[in-house]
Structure 1
Amino acid sequence: MTQVGLHRANERNKAVILGASGFIGVNLARALAARGFALFCFARHTSELWPAESNIILGDLAHPPRQLLAAMEGSIVFHLANSSRPTESTDKAAAEIEADLIATVGLLEATKGLDCRWVFSSSGGTVYGQSDAVQITEEHSTIPISSYGTVKLATERYFNLFKTLHGVDSVIARISNPFGPYQSAAKGQGLVAALFDRIASGSPVEVWGDGKNVRDYVYIDDVTRALILLGLRGSAGEIYNVGSGVGTSVTELVTKISAFLGVPAELVYTHARGIDVHRNVLDIRKIGRELGWRPVYTLEEGIRLTYHWRQRQSQLRDSYEG
């Protein structure tokens, strides 16, 4: 980014979140509001979890309302909207392309003349595909093995194209496996949330494969801090990994959560899925070197904070029902 561009990004105090009702969106909205940003939350449906001061715009990404385009002027636009999650199936690939890729390209075309900065939330796992690397850098080959990852990568490419052709200011965040408050296992939003629910209730934990697949789990507050930093200071056109840089196997994660809850976990092993990579741990040195970001929370600390949040939510529900 040029010095002029960097100065302009640092001046921005208005933010738009596309897909603001999701797990990352809710947490990012609360983090931005706490920092004093003028905040616009865009989603198909409103969320009671958004900060009270949020400006709410409802609609579909494929047919953005005029209010959204107006709000994007002068804003940091955090693109978190997504219609699917990784699966082995391709039966909904066309719909996924239409809802995510085509809608994003249409919005880029409609806003290419606006003064806004994009931060696109890509995938730190699925875009890389299978790898034996101890840690995966941003320069690693990208060979997705799911439609989800393919669409994410294609969207990255279009952001790069619009930067080249039209000077669109954008930064790509490849996020690993975020977890923490407001993550819902019922919505299929993450393994940590699912394990909390399954183990706490005494239900069997289904493990695909042998449980040795390794992932990079990063606490949500570290993610939101990284996203805001990328919006303010990330270099235009660059890709940044956002993760913990530490690998944890599925079996290790089950053991940690089980020990913390004090409840034994019953594991049921099933056939491995074709979309599951054996190892995915991100190299996060680039974002550390350029922006001074590093994770504050260890996996154990994140699990503890998530547990305490879940306790408070349970107490609130009991109080309300009582």
Structure 2
Amino acid sequence: MTGAEALIAPLRALVTTLGTGTLPAGGPLEELRTSATTSHRSARDAQGGAQTLDDGWAGRGADAAAHASESIATRHRRSATANSSSASIVDVAGAKVGQAATEVHRLLDSFARAANSLGSALYRIEGLLALLPVALNHVARGAAIVAQTRDELRADAAALLANSKHPAPKRVPAPATPDCGDGAKDGSLAVTLPNGKVVHAPNARAAAAVRAALSQRGVPYLWGGTTTQGFDCSGLTQWAYHQAGVEIPRLAQDQDDAGVRIDQARVQPGDLAVWDGHVAMVIGDGLMVEAGDPVQVNPIRTTNLNQGFQGFYRPR
């Protein structure tokens, strides 16, 4: 090893430590992507099974089977999302390592040019002394690049850990008895809307929930609100179904776990429209009630700012 090579050896060690950021074929990243694809496919299959059951089978057994199929589909969807997210995190982390390695290699090239510029003086003590501060500067810059990349990768590792520890969604069990339309407080399926039209819910509990939600029109929006003094979106739907004797999860993104997915063409009063961070209740006649500011009735929609739409769900 020449004197110049000895001066820059720490920087070459940093290059070896960094690696290239490219994972070998057939490794964990490919497994994550394959798992995400499989989970997406399983979710579609389970959802199709739930829809088939809902179309061609009625009664207590059908309700329980459809509920189970929908719960399986939800678990697979969330698994697919987590795996896709993890694969994206790994891709980004690899790109960061690759970029850092490129920058350190540029420092090596820069040092080589500085050393070559000394000509024959490179092999004398005065030449090495002149090259020493250049080497120290390049090594320090390389160490800073590695330190910054390490900090960024630490955040990526935390995100991966959060994905792996994503809590299982709470689930509301399927009803133990068949719904014959007389389980709510007044037993009526008919609901009179604010525009005067009369609609009919799929069961008495849904009808009672719609009436309860509509009774809160004009109540102000309150983040985290779950009482008649103020509601947020999921606070309103949870409160309304509680009045009907049905308990559903507190958070908007979890309220789909309380029911079976319904096609938009078949929605009925009481069904929930669920986004990643918002939820509203269908009331019929192409309308829904939601906790805006204040609680209000609006046309049914599937867009809400930039949030992903999860679908329509009928609580059980």
TM-score when scaled to structure 1?
0.20
Structure richer in strand, relative to its length: 1
Q: Tell me which of the two structures has the higher relative contact order, counting C-alpha pairs closer than 8 angstroms and 6 or more residues apart.
A: 1
